[in-house]
Structure 1
């Protein structure tokens, strides 16, 4: 089945003005829109040219944006495979064979974007994902819904009753990550938005914010205004860095700065936290409870360094 069965995604889809996002910081807006545009580039390139030409077509993409392009391509692959009959997820599997070693976090998140139109569990059942990182598809579902479904969906989600069910907490992390874009890297505006949620959700939302800071950038002076308390674990971005930061062969300057300023360590040390924590939870079935335990082990380590 051709990838052209997928609809093209227009560039206006990620324009902050069109989406009703905050636009008060033109520098942060330009950078974050560029990250989102790279996502669309990856999606549309896979749709138009197929996986055979993907790497060559993305060759000119700036290195700081390339991971986001592969995130978008992973979304396209996951959406394509959900539309095809039968078992398995051959295009998404091929995508991970191509670039999953370099961008494991972003590509798992990208696959979770199918949560816009379907249950993320469908991807979990069809694709051969990393046993631990597969739960990031829920993060991707949360991000995509907050980013694209508009003010009405976000208002309903904000008012929804809190559930400590693990899938619900990871979904909130994706929503928190989206807030970094929606509020155009404004910590005060993000704090106000998070305050509207039940208190139990705040830690998960701040965790998502911290990950967005380190992956997308746009913080600059705003780093000093981000919280550092254990109740607002913006300082634990390591769970998004597992392996990929070293294997991609390129660590963006904003990632190194964000990790150092928020967690007090280098990217290399933050990645090591994730590896050690993964060994502690890898004895049994890596269900979502194990994923949450892994995250908490990383947060505990980060809290001791802030």
Structure 2
């Protein structure tokens, strides 16, 4: 580690992943089930802080166990976005996304959203420099951060950021739903109670986040996943879209897992390969100019295709 890297780690590092999972409101099972996820994300974050040069950074990220690599890249996205905020001329994130981070662009942008939340920067103010389709994923990362690290305000009081548009709030809620799955330790009854506490208009996107998190991060067996369907009547299409998106992200990065395939079979009625293909097809020929975000059109296309 360079001297500069040691200073950055000391200033911006996160001392303990386990301490975060020990905060009020987190289920005891959260750390038991998702400790490898948390450690992988922190490894990526600290790797970016310590040495953001692409060869060194990529070597550390790719050393993570394959099923967890996406979380390491998410952490790297968070770290690089934070460094770029301090030294904007470096544009480390752009080089990363154009290079080794390209197959992992979805989790990388989630990590960028985490950084924006920590820096109190509105994600929509920075969409112009990001991928025109997936840039909106930063709002998802922002929502995850708020539900995970500012739980009282976001989860207990159901506060919504003032500087998000209507679409941005939907993607924010998707991130909140993902955070509920992880912080709830994949305990379906608990997660369902938390979702039910939010205003009904927000439930669809919260459940889409649950579908995405349960498919990408795992943590539940088939019976538990089927019980999610029981707790979310009317939202199967959102759960399916979330699971299919997770399958697409993993297929793009080449780190498919059995738990992703299981979630797709439960929520989508098809295997992860077929679900990922639906998501890829839905991204074809999206309008360059539109009143609504291309990301919203993509999400709707995925839901409609999975409903067939």
Shift of 1:31: 3.0
Whether 1:63 aligns to 2:61 is: no
Q: C-alpha separation between the residues in 2 aligned to 1:56 and 1:29? A: 27
| Contact 1:13 1:19 survives alignment (8 Å) | no
Shift of 1:189: 1.1
Alignment size in residue pairs: 294
Report Cα offsets for 1:183-228 as digits up to 9, x if no partner: 1101111111111111111111000000000111101141121116
Q: C-alpha separation between the residues in 2 aligned to 1:64 and 1:286? A: 36
1:237 matched to which residue of 2? 242
In structure 2, the CA distance between the partners of 1:283 and 1:20, relative to structure 1 (3 Å rule), is: closer
Alignment RMSD, CA only?
A: 2.6
Give runs of aligned pairs for residues 146-295 of structure 1, distance below 5 A.
Answer: 146-157=147-158, 165-220=166-221, 221-227=223-229, 229-232=233-236, 233-237=238-242, 240-241=245-246, 244-280=249-285, 282-285=286-289, 289-295=293-299
Shift of 1:242: 7.6
| Contact 1:15 1:33 survives alignment (8 Å) | no
Moved more, 208-217 or 254-263: 254-263
Moved more, 137-146 or 259-268: 259-268
| Contact 2:287 2:294 survives alignment (8 Å) | no
Q: C-alpha separation between the residues in 2 aligned to 1:158 and 1:112? A: 18
In structure 2, the CA distance between the partners of 1:90 and 1:243, relative to structure 1 (3 Å rule), is: farther
Report Cα offsets for 1:265-296 as digits up to 9, x if no partner: 1222112212222225x133267533112112
1:78 matched to which residue of 2? 81
Q: C-alpha separation between the residues in 2 aligned to 1:229 and 1:18? A: 31
2:47 matched to which residue of 1? 45
Q: C-alpha separation between the residues in 2 aligned to 1:19 and 1:64? A: 29
Tell me the secondary structure at the aligned position of residue 240 of structure 2. coil
Q: C-alpha separation between the residues in 2 aligned to 1:183 and 1:121? A: 28
Q: Which runs of 5+ in 2 are unaligned?
A: none
Q: C-alpha separation between the residues in 1 aligned to 2:303 and 2:140? A: 17
Q: C-alpha separation between the residues in 2 aligned to 1:98 and 1:11? A: 30
2:23 matched to which residue of 1? 18
| Contact 2:110 2:138 survives alignment (8 Å) | yes
| Contact 1:241 1:270 survives alignment (8 Å) | no
Shift of 1:173: 0.6
Shift of 1:54: 1.2
| Contact 1:245 1:267 survives alignment (8 Å) | no
Q: Which runs of 5+ in 1 are unaligned?
A: none
Shift of 1:182: 1.6
Q: C-alpha separation between the residues in 2 aligned to 1:187 and 1:7? A: 34
The TM-score, its normalising length taken from structure 1, stands at 0.86
Q: C-alpha separation between the residues in 2 aligned to 1:290 and 1:57? A: 33
